[in-house]
Amino acid sequence: MSKPVRCFLRCVAETHAPISLPHLEDVILGRCPETQITDKRCSKKQLAFRADVSKLSVMVRHLGTNFSAVNGRPLGRNGETVAQHGDTVNFLLGQFEYVVEFDPCKRKLDCDESEDEPNTSKKAREDPGTSSQFEQDTWQSIENGKLLTFLSKGCHCSDKIAAYDMDGTIITTKSGKVFPENPNDWKILWPEIPSKLQKLHRDGFKIVIFTNQAGISRGKTTVSEIQQKIGKVISALGVPVQAFVATGDTIFRKPAPGMWDILTKERNGELSINMDESFYCGDAAGRPENWVPKRKKDFSCSDRLFARNLGLRFYTPEEHFLGQRAAPFKLPDFDPALMPEADAALIHPPSAKLISSSQEILLMVGFPGSGKSFFCKEYLIPAGYKHVNRDTLGSWQKCVAAAESALKGGHSVVVDNTNPDAESRARYIELASKYKIPCRCAMIGESITRARHNNKFRELIGEPHQPISEMIMNSHKSKFKEPEETEGFQEVIKISFKPKFTNKKHERLYKMYLLDKY
């Protein structure tokens, strides 16, 4: 006797058990205990589902105030569509993603082996994100909308990738303004572009677009507007395209490698990329003012750095589409892969001792993210120093009070704050003088760029830390004055920044360019 077919909605985030969709019964879901959704933008009655296990399909109807989506396509007011096994449902655009599943089920997306497509793997045929046989345009959401992926009809897996930025590379604004006035303010940059891409497609390349669209997370545009725009752009190009859209400031935003990693690991079947044949083209190339007469400098170097992170050949649009000679460019002075301090002595001068045998205050100085807290936890706290930190206590007054309390208890104290100027440092020098003990200063990480890189790295790997804005970094920079013994310190030492990594993946990421601008 065959096993009866059942239908479920499976939460991609796996925060709860699959939700059963009984045969030919209406199930209404939204902000409810079954989904565990608490976002008030999602109505209590957001979507209605009616499964038909005989047809292996589910009718999905929109009921709520804000839009939902099936396979990345928004459902309009009271709109409905049919979903099948493996299709995705977002209760809100780009958020709260579920997958329709029938059990048992031979997926509707399976297709027979094709003799003229020997490189198409079984995984590629089963996954609408990678299948060379897929018969319709498909949007999908990754990590609750942090990344949107698109696969146009006829797109196929390939070991040769022709990758492009979009704005300023494939398209430009009709208005002539730097930023588009509306979703329709675009045109193909040059007439040579469609034919170039079509030839690459005929030569076996997969055409891929990687685009940063942080305007989505900042509320300046919507998922729907970007999806419609990209669909129209690809239609104008006349060639199948796979697109990746980074919607915010995450691991998916160039120059970080997140979009490329998803392509290579999940969206290209089981084919390995031929890095010698593949390339990336973008306009953020680090070219200086007047790289050609009367041309402004590039707004950043992020496209060139993205290619360097991945090990891909890089071209500007002018080189690739128009055959122009390579223009001059300037890479950032900061190279994250070069860590000269890693080979240096931990303390300078070498004669200095890190741990004092007598009671003291050791005052840390350094940019937010320079490694102060790590250094304290690695070396000073295990040695018995009491740790005083403003991020934890909230104000410098509480820090001074906590330091004094520790001194009364006979402990040495390490003050783990930025302490950028003489005024902020004087409070602790005075406290040490009051208790007739020495106050030393330890400065770590003189480079603000390294600190910004460290902050971005911690953010991307999900390490808990206090968010640090550019305003805070620049405020510290404007106040910073290198500490001197004449302020009242018994000694000023310098600490070399020596990062430690929990795994090779983190080390690989750390040594990449992670910042948009340097």
pLDDT at 294 over 90: no
347-511: same fold as 6-103?
A: no
Residue-level pLDDT at 120: 35
Residue-level pLDDT at 78: 79
CA distance 21 to 100: 9
Would you list the DSSP string of 340-396? GGGGS-SEESTT--SS-SS--EEEEE--TTSSHHHHIIIIIGGGTPEEE-HHHH-SH
pLDDT at 371 over 80: yes
Domain spanning 6-103, CATH architecture: Sandwich (2.60)
- The three-class DSSP label of residue 64 is coil
Band (3; pLDDT cuts 50, 70, 90): confident
Phi and psi of 200, rounded to 5°?
Answer: -60, -40
Listed by start position, the domains of the chain span 6-103, 138-322, 347-511
Residue-level pLDDT at 65: 86
Least confident of 189-198, 315-324, 422-431, 459-468: 459-468
Least confident of 110-124, 258-272, 321-335, 411-425: 110-124
335-349 confidence digits (pLDDT tens): 999 887 777 788 889
Residue-level pLDDT at 1: 54
What percent of the chain clears pLDDT 90, i.e. is strictly above it?
A: 63
CATH topology of domain 347-511: Rossmann fold (3.40.50)
Residue-level pLDDT at 465: 66
pLDDT at 112 over 50: no
Residues 189-207 have a mean pLDDT of: 95
Least confident of 52-66, 134-148, 289-303, 487-501: 134-148
pTM of the model: 0.70
pLDDT at 457 over 90: yes
Across the chain, what does the average pLDDT equal? 88
Residues 220-229 have a mean pLDDT of: 91
Least confident of 53-67, 228-242, 459-473: 459-473
Structure tokens, 220: 């300046």
Identify whether the C-beta of residue 169 lies closer than 8 Å to the C-beta of residue 299: no
26-51 confidence digits (pLDDT tens): 999 999 999 999 988 899 999 999 99
Residue-level pLDDT at 469: 76
Phi and psi of 246, rounded to 5°?
Answer: -85, 120
Residue-level pLDDT at 106: 53
Band (114; pLDDT cuts 50, 70, 90): very low
Altogether, the residues listed in the chain come to a count of 518
Residue-level pLDDT at 513: 97
CA distance 305 to 290: 21
pLDDT at 93 over 80: no
pLDDT at 302 over 50: yes
Q: Between 3.40.228.10, 3.40.50.300, 3.40.50.80, 3.40.50.1000, what CATH number should domain 138-322 receive?
A: 3.40.50.1000
pLDDT at 407 over 60: yes
pLDDT at 156 over 80: yes
Q: Which residues contact 83 (CB under 8 A, 6 or more apart)?
A: 57, 58, 59, 60, 70, 71, 89, 100
pLDDT at 124 over 60: no
Query: Is cis: bond before 255, omega within 30 of 0?
Result: yes
pLDDT at 426 over 70: yes
Residue-level pLDDT at 116: 36
pLDDT at 110 over 90: no
Residues 414-436 have a mean pLDDT of: 93
Residue-level pLDDT at 77: 73
